[in-house]
Amino acid sequence: MTVVVIGAGSAGLSVSRELRRLGVEHVVFERHRLGQAWRDRWDSFTLVTPNWTLDLPGSPYAGRDPEGHVP
């Protein structure tokens, strides 16, 4: 059986990475280009959550200020 992941945002890509690590056959469907939600943001947009929330499986936040915010 193939697992279907709907959406290639950070959550969908994280799930895809974990499924791959586990050897689970899967496919990711995305309506737009990868990262499209970020491409459509206005130029002055900044994240309003602490940097530590940017941790993704296999890609932990590596900056110096985990409580700061990405500009």
Domain coverage including residue 36: 3-41
Q: How many domains does the chain have?
A: 1
Q: Residue 26 domain-assigned?
A: yes
Tokens of 53: 């929330």
Among the residues of 1-71, which ranges form H helices? 10-21, 36-39
All residue ranges of the chain with pLDDT < 50 are none
Judge contact between 27 and 4, C-beta under 8 A: yes
Task: Give pLDDT, residue 29.
Answer: 95
Task: Give pLDDT, residue 15.
Answer: 94
Q: Residue 60 domain-assigned?
A: no
pTM of the model: 0.62
User: What residues contact 47, with CB distance under 8 A and at least 6 apart?
Assistant: 54, 69, 70
